C-alpha cells in the first residue's frame, strides 16, 4: 500500500498554510512504514506564502522537504501576484500552470485534499 496525495492551497492565508503543513506531517506520522508521495501545490494568491522573505513557516517547509514532501508553485500565479521564482523558499518547484498540475496528478491517482 502507498499514499499519493496532493494538498491544494490557493489562498494567501497563514492559518490554512499551517493546516496544510500539519496535514502533510500528520500523514507522514500515521503512515510510518508506508510509502508516501505527497505534493503541496500552491496557486493563486497562496504563492505568496512561499516567498522566502515573508514565509513564516520556512523551517516547517524544509523539515517536510527533508521527508520527501514536494512543494510545487504555479508560475502563472507567481507572475500574476508579483512573485519571484528565485525568491521562493529553497527547494520549491515551479510548474507552468497549477491547474494543469492538479489535473495531471489526479489522473495519476493522487488523492485531492483542500485544507
Q: 20-70 pLDDT, tens per residue?
A: 999 999 999 999 889 999 999 999 999 999 998 889 899 999 999 999 999
- Indicate whether 84 pLDDT > 90: no
Of all residues in the chain, the percent with pLDDT exceeding 90 is 88
Give the mean model confidence (pLDDT) for residues 73-88. Answer: 89
Which region, left, alpha or beta, applies to residue 51 given φ > 0 means left and ψ of -120 to 50 means alpha? beta
Q: Coil, strand or helix: which one is 38?
A: strand
Q: What is the set of domains in the chain, with CATH numbers? A: 2-113 (3.40.1260.10)
pLDDT of residue 44: 96
**Residue in this structure with the C-alpha cell 496557486, named with its chain if needed:** 43
- Indicate whether 82 pLDDT > 80: no
Amino acid at each position: 500500500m502507498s499514499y499519493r496525495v496532493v494538498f491544494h492551497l490557493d489562498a494567501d492565508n497563514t492559518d490554512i498554510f499551517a493546516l496544510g503543513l500539519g496535514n502533510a506531517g500528520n500523514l507522514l506520522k500515521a503512515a510510518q512504514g508506508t510509502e508516501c508521495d505527497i505534493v503541496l501545490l500552491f496557486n493563486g494568491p497562496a504563492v505568496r506564502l512561499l516567498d522566502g522573505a515573508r514565509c513564516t513557516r520556512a523551517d516547517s517547509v524544509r523539515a517536510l522537504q527533508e521527508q520527501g514532501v514536494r512543494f510545487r508553485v504555479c508560475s502563472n500565479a507567481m507572475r500574476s501576484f508579483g512573485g519571484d521564482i528565485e525568491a521562493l523558499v529553497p527547494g520549491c518547484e515551479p510548474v507552468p500552470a497549477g491547474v494543469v498540475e492538479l489535473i495531471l496528478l489526479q489522473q495519476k491517482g493522487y488523492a485531492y485534499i483542500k485544507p
